[in-house]
Amino acid sequence: MAEYVVELKHVTKRFPGVIAMHDMHIQIKPGEIHGLIGENGAGKSTLIKVLTGVYIPEEGEIYVDGQKVSFANPVQAREAGIACVYQELNIVPMLPVVDNVFMGRNEHKPNGLLDYPRMHKEAHEALTTLGHPEVDTHIECGKLGMGLQQMVEIAKAVSLKAKLLIMDEPTSSLGEQEVKQLMTTVRKLKSQGIAILFVSHKLEELFELCDRVTVMRDGEHIDTRDIADWNNDSLIQAMVGRSLENQFPKEFGKKGECMLECRHLKELGVLKDVSFKAYGGEILAFAGLVGAGRTETMRALFGADPLDGGEVYVKGKKMNFKNPGQAIRAGIAFLTEDRKGQGLVLSLSVKTNIILANMRRFKKGFLLDNGEIERNSQQRIKELRIKTPTAEEVVSQLSGGNQQKVVIGKWINCDADIYIFDEPTRGIDVGAKVEVYNVMNDLVKQGKCVIMVSSELPEVLGMADRVVVMREGEVMAEIDRDSAHFNQEDIMKAAWGGKIA
Partner 1 sequence: MNDTKKKAGISDLLWKLGPLMVLALLFIIFTIALPGKFLSIANMMNILKQTSINCLIAAGMLLTLITAGIDLSVGYNAILSTCLIGVMMQNGITNPVLLIVAAIALCTFCGFMNGTLYTRLDLPHPYVSTLGMKFVLWGMALLITNSQTIGFNNKGIDPVLWIGKATLFSFGFPVSFILVIIVYFIFHVFLNHTALGRQIYCVGGNPEAARMSGIRSKDVLTIVYTISGFMCGVAGVVLAGRLNSANTASAANFDTDAIAACIIGGASFRGGKGTIWGSMIGALLIATIRDGLNLFGAGNDIQYIVIGSVIILAVTLDVFRGKAEAKARKMAAVTK
Binds partner 1 (CB under 8 A): choice among 55, 71, 230, 334: 334
- C-alpha angle with apex 368: 364 to 372, nearest 5 degrees? 80
Region binding partner 1 by CB under 8 A among candidate stretches 253-261, 280-288, 365-373, 458-466? 365-373
Q: Mapping DSSP to helix (H, G, I), strand (E, B) and coil, where does residue 210 land?
A: coil
Report the residue from 70, 184, 231, 370 that binds partner 1 according to the rule CB under 8 A.
Answer: 370
Please select the residue that binds partner 1; options are 192, 246, 366, 501, rule is CB under 8 A: 366
Piece in contact with partner 1 (CB under 8 A), picked from 37-45, 119-127, 204-212, 324-332:
324-332
Q: How many CB atoms lie within 10 A of CB 93?
A: 12
CB of 323 to partner 1, least distance (A): 7
Q: Which of 359, 430, 434, 484 binds partner 1 (CB under 8 A)?
A: 359
CB of 472 to partner 1, least distance (A): 25
CA separation for the pair 469, 294 (Å, rounded): 9
Q: Rule CB under 8 A: say whether 76 interacts with partner 1.
A: no
Question: What are the φ and ψ backbone dihedral angles of 443, each rounded to 5 degrees?
Answer: -60, -45
Residue of the chain from 277, 329, 481, 485 that contacts partner 1 (CB under 8 A): 329
10-49 footprint of partner 1 as x/- string (CB under 8 A)? ------x---------------------------------
State the amino acid at position 411 in one-letter form.
W
Distance CA 98, CA 89 (A): 16
**In whole angstroms, what is the distance from residue 215 CA to residue 390 CA?**
45
Residues of 205-240 as b/e, b for ≥16 C-beta within 10 angstroms?
A: bbbebbbbbbbbbebbbbbbeebeebeeeebbbbbb
Name residue 277's beta-bridge partners: 261
Among the listed residues 327, 432, 450, 453, the single contact to partner 1 using CB under 8 A: 327
**Count of residues binding partner 1 (CB under 8 A)?**
35
Site for partner 1, residues 220 to 259, rule: CB under 8 A? none
Please list, residue by residue across 321-341, b when 16 or more beta carbons sit within 10 angstroms of its beta carbon and e when fewer do.
Answer: beeeeebbebbbbbbbbebee
Residues in CB range of 358: below 8 A, 6 or more apart:
328, 413, 414, 415
User: Per-residue x/- marks for partner 1, 403-432, CB under 8 A?
Assistant: -------x----------------------
Quick one: angle between helices 116-129 and 146-159, nearest 10?
110
- Does 304 sit near partner 1 (CB under 8 A)? yes
Nearest to 175 by CA among 203, 212, 208, 149: 149
Residue 94 lies near partner 1 (rule: CB under 8 A): no
Q: What are the phi and psi torsion angles at 378 (to 5°)?
A: -60, -40
Binder to partner 1 among 269, 316, 341, 431 (CB under 8 A)? 341
Name the minimum Å distance from CB 464 to partner 1: 24
- Nearest 5 degrees, angle CA 466-CA 467-CA 472? 160
**Residue 323, interface with partner 1 (CB under 8 A)?**
yes
CB of 435 to partner 1, least distance (A): 18
Site membership for partner 1, residue 295 (CB under 8 A): no
Q: How far is the CB of 399 from partner 1 (least distance, A)?
A: 9
Q: Least distance in Å: CB of 315 to partner 1?
A: 19
Among 1, 72, 113, 367, binds partner 1 (CB under 8 A): 367
Helix H or strand E encompassing 433: helix 430-445
Sites of contact with partner 1 (CB under 8 A): 16, 302, 304, 323-325, 327-329, 334, 336, 341-348, 352, 355-360, 362-363, 366-368, 370, 389, 397, 410
